[in-house]
Structures are given as structure tokens and as C-alpha cells.
Structure 1
Amino acid sequence: MTVLNLVRDTLHKRAAYAKTKHELEMMPLETAQDLGLFREDAAKNATKAIYG
């Protein structure tokens, strides 16, 4: 993997993380409760979803 590919992949993952985190934070409370999620854990859940 070249350095440019590594940078590109890192930026794509960071963008996906930011989008996922934002969507989890903005999720209606009722939806979050139905899914068993806490909006306060958005960063943790986004990290797990994107980075494994």
C-alpha cells in the first residue's frame, strides 16, 4: 500500500466516522431506545462501526 493510498483510506474512514457519529447523536431518542443505544455513546459506537 502506498502512502497516498494510506492517507486516502484514513481520510475516508475519518469522514465516515464523523458522519456516523453525527447521525447517532442526532437520532431521535425513541429510535435510540428502540435500538438499545444511548446517544451519549455515539463516539464509542461510531469508532467500533468504522474502525472495528
Structure 2
Amino acid sequence: MFVSYILSKVRAYMRYRDTVRELSQLSDRELDDLGISRFQIDNIARQHAAA
């Protein structure tokens, strides 16, 4: 049980990190097309990792 909890937290962090990296690589115009501002990337990544 404890191991599965730790693994789920590690996977969530990896999803967060990957999402931040991918969104950060987009241009401001591409982000605007998606309706995302650069300052929202961290929040969006946290929401994605929690899902």
C-alpha cells in the first residue's frame, strides 16, 4: 500500500514535469491559440497531474 502510494506520487510528479516542459516549449502565439497564458502553465500542469 505504501509503495503504491509513493509510485502514484512519483507518476503524478512526472506528469506535472512533462506538462510544464511541453507547454513551456510552445510559443506565445500557440499558447494563445489554446487559450493559455504563460503564467497559467504551472497551474494547468498541477491540475493535469492530479487528474
Give the CA RMSD over aligned residues: 1.1
The 5 Å alignment of 1:34-45 reads 34-45=33-44
Q: TM-score, structure 2 length as denominator?
A: 0.86
User: How many equivalent residue pairs?
Assistant: 51
> What secondary structure, in the 3-state scheme, does the structure 1 residue paired with 2:41 have?
helix
Structure 1's consecutive aligned runs of 4 or more residues displaced over 4 angstroms after TM superposition are none
Q: Greater CA deviation, 24-33 or 12-21?
A: 24-33
Aligned sequence identity (%)? 18
* Aligned AA (1:20): T
Say whether the 8 Å CA contact 2:20–2:41 is kept in structure 1.
yes
Distance (Å, rounded) in 2 between the aligned partners of 1:31 and 1:21:
15
Q: TM-score, structure 1 length as denominator?
A: 0.85
Which residue in 2 is equivalent to 1:7?
6
Consecutive unaligned residues of structure 2, counting only runs of 5 or more, are none
Higher relative CO (CA 8 A, sep ≥ 6), structure 1 or 2?
2
